[in-house]
């Protein structure tokens, strides 16, 4: 069993690095247009990217999201990317820690605190495994890696198409509720790329989740990853709820991390303007020749987007006007969200002045 899990985790990393495993359908970020502000009334360097996350101050609202772990290859990746996060002043999320629950010797592949002494570190376990292990053992797992939070990943689609998938999801919400009540650190609930809708997010927040990671479709398709491993049901390769409407729905419900097809600092900016608190990605950093340069590029892109919208800090960016077009707007309307509410707001509410007798309105 342990050998099979090791083989699976290493194959996940190899497939993600080498194969075409992204969704054929769109995340929707190309439908989102931040309204350009020709009078930003600020300098580029004045934009403050800093945020508070899990009780720590970050240099930018970016998370290097969860990837596979539990093997020597996974451990090497965890050490490299956690050190990247530390140097960049951003957060880092571990991949599934199930291997160390089954074999305590695997903990060494997840213990990265010495490489990231101050970065927010997020642990990880699958929802399907919550019924297999007592809460005390999960708590010990969190303490072993000195995590600041624990992410529970919902991967019903991946389990359904995986050759050895576990599809017993009945009672998951109640187990999440009990874990929230007992755990000493905040709980984050995420998908693995098929998206979380508003009603699901609402249930998770009511259960006690501190953050929901929207994880919409448009990025890595774990159905495609599993098909590369001999999985079943290829018609589900592009199954999922797109990233942009997923972010919008979750953010209207509670604190949200925007993920799913996020491929640049501009996408992070768009996710935050849709209401998210943070943005994250996995594949771009896994494939980057120099992850540190990749993170810096994202920070520069985010800063430029803030400058061009007149957003001096992340809170102003969360209120920056944007226009949602195309398929994303159509989905949002059918789901009861009026995209016009984003276009009609302003992150600079002060009145500019009047001409004639009527007041000018700048959106």
Residue 362, pLDDT score: 28
Residue 357, pLDDT score: 38
Q: 12-26, 213-227, 302-316: which has the highest mean pLDDT?
A: 302-316
Over 90: is that where the pLDDT of 163 sits? no
Residue 4, pLDDT score: 59
Tell me the pLDDT band of 351, cut-offs 50, 70 and 90. Answer: very low
Of 256, 265, 263, nearest in space to 283 by CA: 263
Tell me the pLDDT band of 268, cut-offs 50, 70 and 90. Answer: very high
What mean pLDDT is predicted for residues 51-75?
A: 92
What mean pLDDT is predicted for residues 351-356?
A: 39
Q: How far apart are CA 245 and CA 130, in angstroms?
A: 28
Taking each continuous run of H as one helix and of E as one strand, the counts in the chain are: 15, 14
Residue that wins the pLDDT comparison between 73 and 305: 305
Helix (H, G, I), strand (E, B) or coil at 29: helix
What mean pLDDT is predicted for residues 213-233?
A: 91
- Ramachandran area for residue 353 (φ above 0: left; ψ -120 to 50: alpha; else beta): left
Residue 352, pLDDT score: 37
What predicted TM-score, i.e. pTM, was given to this entire model? 0.93
Q: How far apart are CA 60 and CA 280, in angstroms?
A: 11
Q: What is the pLDDT of residues 277-296, one digit of tens each?
A: 999 999 999 999 999 999 99
Q: Beta-strand (E) ranges in the chain? A: 32-34, 51-53, 56-58, 62-64, 91-93, 121-126, 149-154, 187-191, 211-213, 256-258, 278-281, 322-324, 354-355, 358-359
Over 90: is that where the pLDDT of 152 sits? yes
Domains in the chain, please, with CATH? 2-359 (3.20.20.70)
Residue that wins the pLDDT comparison between 164 and 73: 73
Residue 358, pLDDT score: 40
- List Cα–Cα distances, 47 to 165, 264, 314, in angstroms: 46, 18, 8
Residue that wins the pLDDT comparison between 220 and 1: 220
What mean pLDDT is predicted for residues 196-225?
A: 96
Q: What is the pLDDT of residues 6-55, one digit of tens each?
A: 777 788 888 989 899 999 999 999 999 999 999 999 999 999 999 999 99
Tell me the pLDDT band of 66, cut-offs 50, 70 and 90. Answer: confident
């Amino acid at each position: 069993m342990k050998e099979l899990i090791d083989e699976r985790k290493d194959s996940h990393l190899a497939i993600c690095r080498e194969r075409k495993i992204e969704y054929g359908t769109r995340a929707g970020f190309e439908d989102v247009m931040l309204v350009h502000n020709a009078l930003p009334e600020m300098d580029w360097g004045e934009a403050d990217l800093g945020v508070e996350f899990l009780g720590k101050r970050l240099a930018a609202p970016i998370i290097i999201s969860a990837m596979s772990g539990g093997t020597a290859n996974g451990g090497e990746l965890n050490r490299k990317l956690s050190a990247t996060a530390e140097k960049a002043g951003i957060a880092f999320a571990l991949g599934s820690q199930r291997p160390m629950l089954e074999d305590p010797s695997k903990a060494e592949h997840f213990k990265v605190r010495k490489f990231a002494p101050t970065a927010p570190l997020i642990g990880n376990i699958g929802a399907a495994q919550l019924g297999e292990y007592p809460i005390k053992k999960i708590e010990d797992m969190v303490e072993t890696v000195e995590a600041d939070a624990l992410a529970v990943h919902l991967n019903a689609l991946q389990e359904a198409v995986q050759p050895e998938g576990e599809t017993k999801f009945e009672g998951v919400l109640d187990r999440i509720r009990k874990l929230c009540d007992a755990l000493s650190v905040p709980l984050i609930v995420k998908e693995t790329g098929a998206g979380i809708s508003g009603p699901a997010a609402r249930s998770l927040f009511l259960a006690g989740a501190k953050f929901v990671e929207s994880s919409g479709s448009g990025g890595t398709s774990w159905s495609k990853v599993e098909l590369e491993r001999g999985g079943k049901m290829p018609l589900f390769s592009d199954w999922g709820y797109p990233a942009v409407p997923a972010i919008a729905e979750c953010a209207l419900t509670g604190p949200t991390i925007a993920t799913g097809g996020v491929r640049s600092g501009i996408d992070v900016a768009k996710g935050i303007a849709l209401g998210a608190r943070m943005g994250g990605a996995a594949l771009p950093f896994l494939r980057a020749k120099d992850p540190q340069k990749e993170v810096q590029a994202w920070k520069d892109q985010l800063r430029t987007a803030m400058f061009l919208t007149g957003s001096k800090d992340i809170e102003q960016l969360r209120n920056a006007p944007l226009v949602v077009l195309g398929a994303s707007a159509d989905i949002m309307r059918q789901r009861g969200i009026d995209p016009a509410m984003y276009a009609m707001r302003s992150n600079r509410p002060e009145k500019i002045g009047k001409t004639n007798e009527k007041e000018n309105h700048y959106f």
